[in-house]
């Protein structure tokens, strides 16, 4: 295992009624002007909005609402939120939603305190912001684990780049599984696969030999697979949903990455696909993963064979490492199909994207056990059709 330093700043409140029991005390610690940020308005239909507004008003807060944060949040939306925060002297941001809302607010928190353009500040000057508006997150859609780190995935529409920006960590995150029970099943499935992908992308990094972080990771993968299957059988059972909410958080709170250089080549490729097509993130990953993994089979067969046995329960008897690695990829592809995720871009309505431009603009990750070329990534995209 590589050397590491681990510190985690976000306090987590997990369980039913977590907002009611924990949010008032947290609000007592912050200033009077609160920005309530959310997406398309589903929280107004499921009662979450009314509950949180009641808690905010009872705490005596002046509430500025920032709504309409879209899936694949844009840099333009970030700037809109940052300007609103400045105009209303916002002391605290309460982000309510899934990964898109939570990521967007991380960057708003930084941009509102920075005179420079944040994109240029980080990508041209290669500096990181150091001053932020404090924040809390209320998770209503799981999968990304966005509440567990300070990285944000933002689409710069003018530059045709969907990439990382670095903002603030959340002071606290409220994970109430009951808030996720009204998620559309399509979103439950794609979010669960995103969490599984986070685990696999971390696992496939280096070192590739057996280590404690990867053994914990294997348990998380088994948990996601088992509980997504259980959720599809009993959608109204909160117990497997609770497991999925926490597994998604575990995948991105840094625990699985301790001592690892991560891979995330599938994510980088899907991010650029999203920049050009605005596609569903989890669905894009589901199509890409098996194809990408077949391209890295020779380099990754030791790790793939362990996943076959330790995660997917495939018997190793009378099988070579190569055979087990192939069976892992087949098991993953079969799982994707059986849970109802797309297996080709055509099933997502993607037929004429500029795959060369997507591949050329994709970040090549250093942690991947195979060093892909831009040409190979274009081949992967072509095979995903």
CB 145 within 8 A of CB 252: yes
Provide the pLDDT confidence category of residue 7 given band limits of 50, 70 and 90.
confident
pLDDT score for 226: 98
Q: How confident is the model at residue 1 (pLDDT cuts 50, 70, 90)?
A: confident
What is the DSSP-derived secondary structure letter of residue 70? Answer: P
- What is the pTM (predicted TM-score) of this model? 0.95
β-bridge mates for residue 74, sequence order: 155
Instruction: Give the CA distances from residue 252 to residues 106, 272, 319, in Å, rounded to whole numbers and listed in that order.
Output: 15, 21, 33
Closest-CA residue to 104 (of 115, 94, 116)? 94
pLDDT at residue number 3 = 81
Say if residue 233's pLDDT is above 90.
yes
- Nearest CA to 34 out of 107, 127, 76, 96 is that of 96
Phi, psi of 82, deg, nearest 5: -65, -40
d(CA 321, CA 208): 14
Q: Record the tokens describing residue 215, joined without a space.
A: 């053994």
For 166-191, what is the mean pLDDT? Answer: 96
Helix (H) or strand (E) holding 333: helix 321-338
pLDDT of residue 6: 80
Cα distance between residue 342 and residue 16, in whole Å: 32
What backbone phi and psi angles, to 5 degrees, belong to 217? -60, -45
Is pLDDT of 52 > 90? yes
Is the pLDDT assigned to residue 98 strictly greater than 90? yes
Mean pLDDT score of the chain:
96
* Domain residue ranges of the chain, discontinuous segments joined by +: 11-180, 187-383
Q: At what angle do helices 185-203 and 238-252 cross, to 10 degrees?
A: 40
**8 falls in which pLDDT band (50, 70, 90)?**
confident
pLDDT of residue 371: 93
**pLDDT the model gives residue 16:** 95
Ramachandran angles phi, psi of 316, nearest 5° = -85, -5
Contact between residue 101 and residue 9 where contact means Cβ atoms under 8 Å apart: no
Mean pLDDT of 85-95: 98
Q: How far apart, in whole angstroms, are the C-alpha atoms of residue 324 and residue 306?
A: 8
Q: What's the pLDDT score for residue 32?
A: 98
Q: Which residues of 302-325 are buried (b: 16+ CB within 10 A; e: fewer)?
A: ebbbbbbbbbbebeeeebeeeebb
Coil, strand or helix: which one is 59?
Answer: coil
Segment 114-139, tens digit of pLDDT:
999 999 999 999 999 999 999 999 99
Average pLDDT (265-288) is: 97
Please tell me the distance from the alpha carbon of residue 363 to that of residue 144, in angstroms, as a whole number.
20
Residues with Cβ within 8 Å of 115's Cβ and at least 6 positions away in sequence, in order, are none
d(Cα 321, Cα 116) in Å, to the nearest integer? Answer: 52
As its CATH architecture, domain 11-180 has 3-Layer(aba) Sandwich (3.40)
Q: What is d(CA 342, CA 282) in angstroms, rounded to the nearest whole number? A: 10
Residue 272 neighbours by CB distance under 10 Å: 26
Superfamily of domain 187-383: Dehydroquinate synthase-like - alpha domain (1.20.1090.10)
Percent of the chain whose pLDDT exceeds 70: 100
pLDDT tens digit sequence for 301-330? 999 999 999 999 999 999 999 999 999 999
- How sure is the predictor about 352, in pLDDT bands with cuts at 50, 70 and 90? confident
Q: Residue 253 above 90 pLDDT?
A: yes
Sorted by sequence, the CB contacts under 8 Å of residue 155 that are 6+ apart come out as 72, 73, 74, 75, 161, 162, 274, 275, 278
């Amino acid at each position: 295992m590589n050397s590491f330093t681990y510190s985690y700043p976000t306090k987590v409140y997990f369980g039913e009624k977590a907002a009611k029991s924990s949010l008032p005390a947290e609000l007592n610690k912050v200033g009077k002007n609160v920005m309530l940020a959310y997406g398309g308005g589903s929280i107004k239909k499921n009662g979450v909005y009314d509950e949180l507004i009641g808690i905010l008003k009872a705490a005596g807060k002046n509430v500025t609402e920032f709504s309409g944060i879209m899936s694949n949040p844009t840099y333009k939306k970030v700037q809109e939120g940052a300007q609103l925060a400045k105009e209303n002297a916002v002391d605290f941001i309460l982000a309510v939603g899934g990964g898109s809302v939570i990521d967007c607010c991380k960057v708003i928190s930084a941009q509102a305190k920075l005179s420079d353009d944040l994109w240029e500040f980080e990508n041209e000057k290669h500096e990181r912001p150091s001053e932020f508006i404090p924040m809390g997150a209320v998770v209503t859609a799981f999968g990304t684990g966005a509440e567990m780190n300070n990285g944000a995935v933002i689409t710069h529409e003018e530059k045709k780049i969907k990439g990382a920006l670095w903002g603030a960590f959340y002071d606290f995150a409220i994970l109430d599984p009951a808030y996720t029970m009204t998620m559309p099943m399509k979103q439950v499935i794609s979010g669960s696969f995103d969490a599984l992908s986070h685990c696999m992308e971390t696992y496939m990094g280096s070192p590739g030999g057996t280590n404690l972080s990867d053994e914990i990771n294997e348990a998380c993968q088994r948990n996601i697979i088992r509980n997504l299957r259980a959720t599809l059988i009993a959608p109204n059972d909160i117990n497997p949903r609770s497991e999925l909410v926490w597994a998604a958080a575990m995948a991105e709170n840094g625990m699985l990455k301790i001592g690892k250089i991560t891979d995330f080549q599938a994510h980088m490729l899907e991010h650029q696909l999203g920049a050009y097509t605005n596609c569903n993130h989890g669905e894009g990953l589901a199509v890409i993963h098996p194809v990408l993994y077949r391209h890295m089979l020779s380099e990754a067969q030791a790790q793939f064979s362990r996943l076959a046995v330790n995660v997917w329960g495939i018997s190793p008897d009378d099988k070579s490492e190569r055979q087990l690695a192939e069976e892992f990829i087949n098991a993953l592809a079969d799982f994707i199909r059986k849970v109802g995720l797309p297996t080709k871009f055509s099933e997502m309505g993607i037929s004429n994207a500029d795959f060369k431009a997507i591949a050329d603009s994709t970040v090549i990750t250093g942690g991947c056990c195979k060093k892909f070329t831009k040409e190979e990534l274009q081949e992967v995209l072509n095979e995903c059709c």
